[in-house]
Amino acid sequence: MSDRTGYRFLEPTAVARVRNLSLAARKVVQGFIAGLHRSPYRGFSVEFAEHREYCPGDNLRYLDWKVLGRTDRLYIKLFEEETNMRVQLLLDASGSMDFSSAGRLPKVEYAAYLCGMLAYLASRQQDAVGMTIFDERVRLNMPARSGPRHIGELLRQLERWCARDQILPEHRPRRTQIAETLHRIAFQLRRRCLVVLVSDLLDEAGDEAIARALYHFKHRQHEMLLFHVLDPAEIEFPFRETALFVDLETQERLQVDPTYVRDEYRRAVEEFLAFHRRKARELAADYVLARTDIPYDVMLARYLRARRDALVRGRAAVR
Protein backbone atom coordinates (compact mmCIF):
# COMPACT_ATOMS: atom_id res chain seq x y z
CA MET A 1 0.00 0.00 0.00
CA SER A 2 1.23 3.49 -0.84
CA ASP A 3 2.46 5.46 2.17
CA ARG A 4 1.40 8.74 0.61
CA THR A 5 -2.02 7.95 -0.86
CA GLY A 6 -3.16 5.28 1.58
CA TYR A 7 -4.45 3.12 -1.27
CA ARG A 8 -2.68 0.16 -2.82
CA PHE A 9 -3.89 0.82 -6.35
CA LEU A 10 -3.08 4.53 -6.40
CA GLU A 11 0.70 5.02 -6.61
CA PRO A 12 2.25 8.49 -6.11
CA THR A 13 4.72 8.04 -8.99
CA ALA A 14 1.88 7.15 -11.36
CA VAL A 15 -0.20 10.09 -10.11
CA ALA A 16 2.70 12.42 -10.89
CA ARG A 17 2.95 11.08 -14.44
CA VAL A 18 -0.70 11.68 -15.40
CA ARG A 19 -1.84 14.48 -13.10
CA ASN A 20 -1.66 17.13 -15.85
CA LEU A 21 -3.68 15.01 -18.29
CA SER A 22 -7.44 14.60 -18.51
CA LEU A 23 -10.01 12.07 -19.65
CA ALA A 24 -12.48 13.95 -21.84
CA ALA A 25 -15.59 12.69 -23.58
CA ARG A 26 -15.81 12.85 -27.37
CA LYS A 27 -19.57 13.35 -27.31
CA VAL A 28 -21.76 15.95 -25.67
CA VAL A 29 -22.32 14.85 -22.07
CA GLN A 30 -25.36 15.46 -19.92
CA GLY A 31 -25.03 18.52 -17.72
CA PHE A 32 -22.47 21.28 -17.37
CA ILE A 33 -20.43 22.56 -14.44
CA ALA A 34 -18.90 26.00 -14.95
CA GLY A 35 -15.30 26.41 -13.86
CA LEU A 36 -14.61 22.81 -12.84
CA HIS A 37 -13.76 20.31 -15.57
CA ARG A 38 -11.42 21.41 -18.32
CA SER A 39 -11.69 19.38 -21.50
CA PRO A 40 -9.60 19.61 -24.68
CA TYR A 41 -12.65 20.93 -26.52
CA ARG A 42 -12.32 24.64 -27.27
CA GLY A 43 -15.11 27.18 -27.18
CA PHE A 44 -15.59 30.80 -26.20
CA SER A 45 -16.10 30.42 -22.46
CA VAL A 46 -14.63 32.30 -19.52
CA GLU A 47 -11.00 31.20 -19.25
CA PHE A 48 -8.34 31.81 -21.91
CA ALA A 49 -6.60 28.69 -23.23
CA GLU A 50 -4.50 29.46 -26.32
CA HIS A 51 -4.37 31.15 -29.73
CA ARG A 52 -4.86 29.92 -33.26
CA GLU A 53 -4.45 31.74 -36.54
CA TYR A 54 -7.43 33.65 -37.90
CA CYS A 55 -9.44 31.94 -40.67
CA PRO A 56 -11.90 33.77 -42.96
CA GLY A 57 -15.33 33.68 -41.37
CA ASP A 58 -14.09 33.71 -37.75
CA ASN A 59 -15.90 36.08 -35.42
CA LEU A 60 -13.79 39.24 -35.13
CA ARG A 61 -15.07 39.63 -31.58
CA TYR A 62 -12.43 37.09 -30.50
CA LEU A 63 -9.53 38.61 -32.42
CA ASP A 64 -6.54 39.36 -30.17
CA TRP A 65 -5.83 43.01 -31.01
CA LYS A 66 -2.77 43.16 -28.74
CA VAL A 67 -1.09 40.35 -30.65
CA LEU A 68 -2.06 42.04 -33.91
CA GLY A 69 -0.41 45.26 -32.73
CA ARG A 70 2.82 43.47 -31.71
CA THR A 71 3.19 41.04 -34.60
CA ASP A 72 0.95 42.37 -37.38
CA ARG A 73 -0.63 38.88 -37.53
CA LEU A 74 -4.22 37.83 -36.95
CA TYR A 75 -4.88 35.39 -34.09
CA ILE A 76 -8.12 34.22 -32.48
CA LYS A 77 -8.39 33.63 -28.72
CA LEU A 78 -9.54 30.18 -27.68
CA PHE A 79 -11.13 29.53 -24.30
CA GLU A 80 -11.68 26.40 -22.23
CA GLU A 81 -15.09 24.77 -22.29
CA GLU A 82 -16.09 23.40 -18.90
CA THR A 83 -18.02 20.13 -18.84
CA ASN A 84 -18.78 17.31 -16.50
CA MET A 85 -19.33 13.69 -17.39
CA ARG A 86 -20.10 10.31 -15.89
CA VAL A 87 -17.57 7.49 -16.12
CA GLN A 88 -18.43 3.85 -15.43
CA LEU A 89 -15.46 1.50 -15.05
CA LEU A 90 -16.20 -2.14 -15.94
CA LEU A 91 -13.49 -4.39 -14.52
CA ASP A 92 -13.20 -8.03 -15.54
CA ALA A 93 -12.00 -9.98 -12.46
CA SER A 94 -12.56 -13.48 -13.83
CA GLY A 95 -10.18 -16.41 -13.45
CA SER A 96 -8.34 -15.76 -16.73
CA MET A 97 -7.34 -12.34 -15.39
CA ASP A 98 -5.22 -14.08 -12.72
CA PHE A 99 -2.60 -15.01 -15.33
CA SER A 100 0.92 -13.61 -15.16
CA SER A 101 4.30 -14.61 -16.57
CA ALA A 102 7.94 -13.93 -15.73
CA GLY A 103 7.19 -12.27 -12.41
CA ARG A 104 4.87 -9.66 -13.94
CA LEU A 105 1.71 -8.36 -12.32
CA PRO A 106 -1.36 -10.57 -12.75
CA LYS A 107 -3.61 -9.04 -15.36
CA VAL A 108 -6.28 -8.28 -12.77
CA GLU A 109 -3.89 -6.24 -10.61
CA TYR A 110 -2.62 -4.37 -13.66
CA ALA A 111 -6.27 -3.63 -14.50
CA ALA A 112 -6.93 -2.50 -10.92
CA TYR A 113 -4.04 -0.02 -11.01
CA LEU A 114 -5.40 1.29 -14.29
CA CYS A 115 -8.91 1.68 -12.86
CA GLY A 116 -7.54 3.39 -9.77
CA MET A 117 -5.74 5.95 -11.91
CA LEU A 118 -8.79 6.56 -14.10
CA ALA A 119 -10.93 7.08 -10.99
CA TYR A 120 -8.34 9.54 -9.68
CA LEU A 121 -8.39 11.51 -12.96
CA ALA A 122 -12.18 11.66 -12.95
CA SER A 123 -12.25 12.84 -9.34
CA ARG A 124 -9.72 15.61 -10.07
CA GLN A 125 -12.02 16.79 -12.86
CA GLN A 126 -14.97 16.70 -10.45
CA ASP A 127 -16.62 14.10 -12.66
CA ALA A 128 -18.81 11.28 -11.39
CA VAL A 129 -17.19 7.85 -11.56
CA GLY A 130 -18.62 4.42 -10.79
CA MET A 131 -17.25 0.89 -10.96
CA THR A 132 -18.62 -2.53 -11.79
CA ILE A 133 -16.52 -5.64 -11.02
CA PHE A 134 -17.66 -8.87 -12.65
CA ASP A 135 -16.78 -12.41 -13.64
CA GLU A 136 -19.64 -14.80 -14.46
CA ARG A 137 -21.89 -12.32 -12.65
CA VAL A 138 -21.67 -8.83 -11.21
CA ARG A 139 -19.72 -8.95 -7.94
CA LEU A 140 -19.74 -5.23 -7.15
CA ASN A 141 -21.74 -2.39 -8.63
CA MET A 142 -20.99 1.18 -7.53
CA PRO A 143 -23.05 3.83 -9.37
CA ALA A 144 -21.24 6.89 -10.64
CA ARG A 145 -20.79 9.56 -7.97
CA SER A 146 -18.25 12.24 -7.21
CA GLY A 147 -16.51 13.31 -4.03
CA PRO A 148 -13.50 12.11 -2.02
CA ARG A 149 -15.45 9.69 0.18
CA HIS A 150 -16.87 7.91 -2.84
CA ILE A 151 -13.47 7.68 -4.55
CA GLY A 152 -11.93 6.40 -1.32
CA GLU A 153 -14.51 3.63 -1.10
CA LEU A 154 -13.98 2.76 -4.77
CA LEU A 155 -10.24 2.37 -4.20
CA ARG A 156 -10.85 0.23 -1.10
CA GLN A 157 -13.14 -2.04 -3.09
CA LEU A 158 -10.48 -2.40 -5.77
CA GLU A 159 -8.08 -3.70 -3.16
CA ARG A 160 -10.69 -6.01 -1.66
CA TRP A 161 -11.54 -7.66 -4.98
CA CYS A 162 -8.32 -7.46 -6.99
CA ALA A 163 -5.33 -7.81 -4.62
CA ARG A 164 -4.54 -11.47 -5.24
CA ASP A 165 -2.32 -11.84 -2.18
CA GLN A 166 -5.14 -11.11 0.24
CA ILE A 167 -8.37 -11.86 -1.58
CA LEU A 168 -10.92 -13.91 0.37
CA PRO A 169 -11.63 -17.43 -0.95
CA GLU A 170 -15.34 -16.66 -1.40
CA HIS A 171 -14.44 -13.67 -3.55
CA ARG A 172 -12.10 -15.55 -5.87
CA PRO A 173 -13.76 -15.47 -9.29
CA ARG A 174 -13.87 -18.40 -11.67
CA ARG A 175 -15.52 -18.49 -15.08
CA THR A 176 -16.20 -15.61 -17.45
CA GLN A 177 -19.49 -14.51 -18.97
CA ILE A 178 -18.45 -11.13 -20.33
CA ALA A 179 -21.09 -10.84 -23.05
CA GLU A 180 -24.07 -11.76 -20.87
CA THR A 181 -22.86 -9.53 -18.03
CA LEU A 182 -22.30 -6.55 -20.34
CA HIS A 183 -25.87 -6.81 -21.63
CA ARG A 184 -27.16 -6.64 -18.05
CA ILE A 185 -24.96 -3.65 -17.25
CA ALA A 186 -26.07 -1.82 -20.42
CA PHE A 187 -29.71 -2.15 -19.32
CA GLN A 188 -28.84 -0.70 -15.90
CA LEU A 189 -27.00 2.41 -17.12
CA ARG A 190 -29.82 4.86 -17.64
CA ARG A 191 -27.81 8.03 -18.19
CA ARG A 192 -25.32 8.44 -21.00
CA CYS A 193 -21.73 8.05 -19.86
CA LEU A 194 -18.23 7.07 -20.84
CA VAL A 195 -18.10 3.29 -20.38
CA VAL A 196 -14.55 2.01 -19.79
CA LEU A 197 -14.17 -1.76 -20.17
CA VAL A 198 -10.93 -3.21 -18.74
CA SER A 199 -10.71 -6.88 -19.69
CA ASP A 200 -8.76 -9.58 -21.50
CA LEU A 201 -11.92 -10.17 -23.62
CA LEU A 202 -11.66 -13.94 -23.17
CA ASP A 203 -15.15 -15.41 -23.00
CA GLU A 204 -16.48 -18.90 -23.63
CA ALA A 205 -19.35 -17.33 -25.60
CA GLY A 206 -16.89 -16.10 -28.24
CA ASP A 207 -15.77 -12.82 -29.76
CA GLU A 208 -18.98 -12.19 -31.72
CA ALA A 209 -21.02 -12.39 -28.51
CA ILE A 210 -18.81 -9.76 -26.88
CA ALA A 211 -19.13 -7.52 -29.93
CA ARG A 212 -22.94 -7.73 -29.80
CA ALA A 213 -22.86 -6.78 -26.12
CA LEU A 214 -20.68 -3.75 -26.87
CA TYR A 215 -23.12 -2.67 -29.60
CA HIS A 216 -25.76 -2.64 -26.87
CA PHE A 217 -23.88 0.24 -25.21
CA LYS A 218 -23.63 2.11 -28.51
CA HIS A 219 -27.36 1.63 -29.09
CA ARG A 220 -27.99 3.30 -25.75
CA GLN A 221 -25.72 6.19 -26.82
CA HIS A 222 -22.85 5.55 -24.43
CA GLU A 223 -19.28 6.24 -25.46
CA MET A 224 -16.97 3.21 -25.22
CA LEU A 225 -13.30 2.90 -24.28
CA LEU A 226 -11.70 -0.57 -24.32
CA PHE A 227 -8.48 -1.42 -22.48
CA HIS A 228 -7.55 -4.90 -23.72
CA VAL A 229 -5.31 -6.28 -20.96
CA LEU A 230 -3.01 -9.13 -21.99
CA ASP A 231 0.20 -10.64 -20.71
CA PRO A 232 2.97 -10.64 -23.36
CA ALA A 233 3.24 -14.43 -23.06
CA GLU A 234 -0.39 -14.69 -24.22
CA ILE A 235 0.50 -12.73 -27.34
CA GLU A 236 3.95 -14.08 -28.19
CA PHE A 237 3.75 -17.67 -26.85
CA PRO A 238 7.46 -17.81 -25.90
CA PHE A 239 7.36 -21.33 -24.45
CA ARG A 240 9.99 -23.78 -25.73
CA GLU A 241 9.62 -26.96 -23.71
CA THR A 242 6.68 -29.32 -23.46
CA ALA A 243 4.54 -28.09 -20.57
CA LEU A 244 1.26 -28.65 -18.78
CA PHE A 245 -1.14 -25.75 -19.35
CA VAL A 246 -4.02 -25.21 -16.90
CA ASP A 247 -7.19 -23.29 -17.67
CA LEU A 248 -7.51 -20.79 -14.79
CA GLU A 249 -11.31 -20.82 -14.99
CA THR A 250 -12.20 -24.48 -15.60
CA GLN A 251 -9.03 -26.09 -14.22
CA GLU A 252 -8.86 -28.18 -17.40
CA ARG A 253 -5.30 -29.44 -18.03
CA LEU A 254 -3.58 -29.96 -21.35
CA GLN A 255 -0.02 -31.03 -22.06
CA VAL A 256 1.35 -29.21 -25.10
CA ASP A 257 4.54 -29.27 -27.16
CA PRO A 258 4.91 -25.60 -28.17
CA THR A 259 6.83 -26.51 -31.33
CA TYR A 260 3.69 -27.94 -32.94
CA VAL A 261 1.23 -25.23 -31.97
CA ARG A 262 3.22 -21.97 -31.85
CA ASP A 263 2.54 -20.75 -35.41
CA GLU A 264 -1.14 -21.63 -35.31
CA TYR A 265 -1.50 -20.06 -31.87
CA ARG A 266 0.10 -16.79 -32.97
CA ARG A 267 -2.14 -16.61 -36.04
CA ALA A 268 -5.17 -17.11 -33.82
CA VAL A 269 -4.02 -14.34 -31.48
CA GLU A 270 -3.49 -11.94 -34.38
CA GLU A 271 -7.01 -12.67 -35.63
CA PHE A 272 -8.34 -12.19 -32.09
CA LEU A 273 -6.67 -8.77 -31.74
CA ALA A 274 -7.63 -7.68 -35.26
CA PHE A 275 -11.26 -8.62 -34.63
CA HIS A 276 -11.57 -6.47 -31.53
CA ARG A 277 -9.72 -3.53 -33.12
CA ARG A 278 -12.09 -3.69 -36.08
CA LYS A 279 -15.19 -3.89 -33.90
CA ALA A 280 -13.95 -0.94 -31.83
CA ARG A 281 -13.66 1.15 -35.00
CA GLU A 282 -17.20 0.18 -35.98
CA LEU A 283 -18.36 1.28 -32.53
CA ALA A 284 -16.43 4.58 -32.79
CA ALA A 285 -14.74 3.38 -29.59
CA ASP A 286 -11.12 3.77 -28.55
CA TYR A 287 -9.23 0.47 -28.39
CA VAL A 288 -6.02 0.26 -26.34
CA LEU A 289 -3.90 -2.89 -26.15
CA ALA A 290 -2.64 -2.82 -22.56
CA ARG A 291 0.32 -5.22 -22.30
CA THR A 292 1.36 -5.93 -18.75
CA ASP A 293 5.05 -5.57 -19.64
CA ILE A 294 4.45 -1.84 -20.25
CA PRO A 295 3.94 0.15 -17.02
CA TYR A 296 0.29 1.05 -16.77
CA ASP A 297 0.97 4.73 -16.08
CA VAL A 298 3.25 5.02 -19.13
CA MET A 299 0.64 3.33 -21.30
CA LEU A 300 -2.16 5.51 -19.92
CA ALA A 301 -0.20 8.76 -20.33
CA ARG A 302 0.56 7.92 -23.98
CA TYR A 303 -3.08 7.13 -24.64
CA LEU A 304 -4.44 10.28 -22.95
CA ARG A 305 -2.06 12.50 -24.91
CA ALA A 306 -3.08 10.83 -28.17
CA ARG A 307 -6.77 11.14 -27.25
CA ARG A 308 -6.34 14.82 -26.37
CA ASP A 309 -4.59 15.54 -29.67
CA ALA A 310 -7.25 13.65 -31.65
CA LEU A 311 -10.04 15.58 -29.93
CA VAL A 312 -8.40 18.92 -30.68
CA ARG A 313 -7.89 17.97 -34.34
CA GLY A 314 -11.48 16.79 -34.62
CA ARG A 315 -12.80 19.97 -33.08
CA ALA A 316 -10.77 22.10 -35.48
CA ALA A 317 -11.94 20.05 -38.47
CA VAL A 318 -15.63 20.88 -37.94
CA ARG A 319 -15.13 24.63 -37.72
The whole-number pLDDT of residue 197 equals: 98
Q: What pLDDT was estimated at residue 68? A: 82
Which pLDDT tens digit goes with each residue over 200-221?
999 988 999 999 999 999 999 9
Task: Decide the pairing of beta strands 194-199 and 86-92.
Answer: parallel
Which of 69-73, 115-119, 276-280 shows the lowest mean pLDDT across its residues?
Answer: 69-73
DSSP 167-199: --GGG------HHHHHHHHHHH--S--EEEEEE
Consecutive H or E run containing 40: strand 38-43
H or E stretch at 223: strand 223-230
The answer to whether residue 42 scores a pLDDT higher than 60 is: no
Domains in the chain (CATH in brackets) are: 12-21+85-313 (3.40.50.410), 38-82 (no CATH)
pLDDT for position 207: 95
pLDDT in tens, 154-199: 999 999 999 877 655 555 546 778 999 999 999 999 888 999 999 9
